């Protein structure tokens, strides 16, 4: 007897508290909130606060307060990644036990030098791809350097992982996308001192929070290739995805996150209503920057 019914739509907004909520964040939050509310589903809030050198409690509090002011209400309690390191460590241990991780001792400078030396550097969507230098190290050498190094990265052996999973796809707003994780190279999943990277934490959290539809900016489309691979390796369900266009100004330039005038705080202080801020997040030609003196300051980043 079948009792299947359509899965509930569960979306999330997952900012990092490294600054105030910005108009670009509002756009992302609104996409997730609206998708959940239209489907009578749930909209969850997660704070991606692993990087304790950049994240601040006062920013976290401001984000929560601004969302409430905007009327973008969320369901349940807020998940803070810094409180769930054991979840990421467990996923990492599983990948390591399956022989899919290797330690990388390269500095940024060494990686750049190796790419130049190799000549035709493969370019990933996010820039130069790690050339795989440390993948060649033998087991004894790895163990010796792990014990001796104060810091190193743990990278995913993407070729070995893909051999395990075979070809992968995901649903992007109803379209079928072929995942190409190899384009990003052997990404970092953790460091010796930090048990997770963005890629690993997002993948684990989306599964633990039961997210069925991931809405986020188009700048994270490339990351989805990696997340799809991690889901398969960790036996996690695959949500649907919807990457929305990034906000741009009248000249087509991406809005600068560093532009303080486009923070919700500043727009509130300037007397804008919540409805006006939400409107500006959907219609780039209505962003408040349009009325500012173009010579007053640079907005590029």
Residues that bind Zn ion (CB under 5 A): 104, 106, 133-134
Whichever of 65 and 114 has its CB closer to Zn ion, that residue is 114
Q: Which three-class secondary structure string do you get for the chain? A: CCCCCCCCCEEEECCCCCCCCEHHHHHHHHHHHHHHHHCCCEEEEEECCCCCCCCCHHHHHHHHHHHHHHCCCCCCCCEEHHHCHHHHHHHHHHHHHCCCEEEECCCHHHHHHHHHHCCCCCEECCEECCCCHHHHCCHHHHHHHHHHCCCCEEEECHHHHHHHHCCCEEEECCEEEECCHHHHCCCEEEECCECCCHHHHHHHHHHHCCCCEEEEEHHHHHHHHHHHHHHHHHCCCCCEEEEECCCECCCCCECCCCCHHHEHHHHHHCCCCHHHHHHHHHCHHHCHHHHCCCCCCCCCC
Please state the closest distance from residue 226 (CB atom) to Zn ion, in A.
18
Whichever of 142 and 254 has its CB closer to Zn ion, that residue is 142
Please state the closest distance from residue 136 (CB atom) to Zn ion, in A.
9
Please state the closest distance from residue 262 (CB atom) to Zn ion, in A.
38
Whichever of 151 and 178 has its CB closer to Zn ion, that residue is 151
Whichever of 106 and 256 has its CB closer to Zn ion, that residue is 106
Please state the closest distance from residue 234 (CB atom) to Zn ion, in A.
24
Please state the closest distance from residue 132 (CB atom) to Zn ion, in A.
8
Whichever of 134 and 233 has its CB closer to Zn ion, that residue is 134
């Amino acid at each position: 007897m079948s009792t299947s019914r359509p899965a509930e739509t569960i979306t999330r907004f997952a900012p990092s508290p490294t600054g105030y909520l910005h108009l670009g964040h509002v756009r992302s939050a609104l996409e997730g909130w609206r998708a959940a509310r239209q489907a009578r589903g749930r909209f969850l809030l997660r704070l991606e606060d692993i990087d304790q050198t950049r994240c601040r409690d006062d920013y976290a509090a401001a984000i929560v307060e601004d969302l409430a002011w905007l009327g973008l209400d969320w369901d349940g309690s807020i998940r803070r990644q810094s409180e769930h390191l054991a979840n990421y460590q467990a996923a990492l241990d599983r990948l390591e036990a399956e022989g899919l991780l290797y330690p990388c001792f390269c500095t940024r400078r060494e990686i750049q030098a190796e790419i130049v030396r190799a000549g035709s550097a493969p370019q990933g969507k996010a820039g130069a791809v790690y050339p795989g230098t440390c993948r060649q190290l033998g087991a004894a050498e790895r163990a010796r350097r792990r014990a001796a190094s104060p810091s190193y990265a743990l990278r995913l052996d993407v070729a070995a992982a893909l051999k395990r999973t075979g070809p992968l796809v995901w649903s992007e707003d109803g379209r079928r996308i072929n995942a190409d994780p190899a384009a990003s190279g052997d990404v970092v999943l953790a460091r010796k001192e930090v048990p997770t990277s963005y890629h690993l934490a997002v993948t684990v959290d989306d599964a633990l929070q039961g997210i069925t539809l991931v809405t986020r900016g188009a700048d994270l489309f490339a990351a989805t290739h990696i997340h799809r691979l991690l889901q398969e390796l960790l036996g996690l369900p695959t949500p649907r995805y919807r990457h929305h266009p990034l906000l741009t100004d009248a000249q087509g330039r991406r809005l600068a996150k560093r532009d303080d005038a486009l923070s919700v705080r500043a727009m509130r202080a300037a007397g804008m209503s919540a409805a006006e801020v939400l409107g500006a997040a959907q219609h780039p030609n209505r962003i408040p920057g349009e009325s500012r003196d173009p010579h007053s300051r640079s907005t590029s980043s």
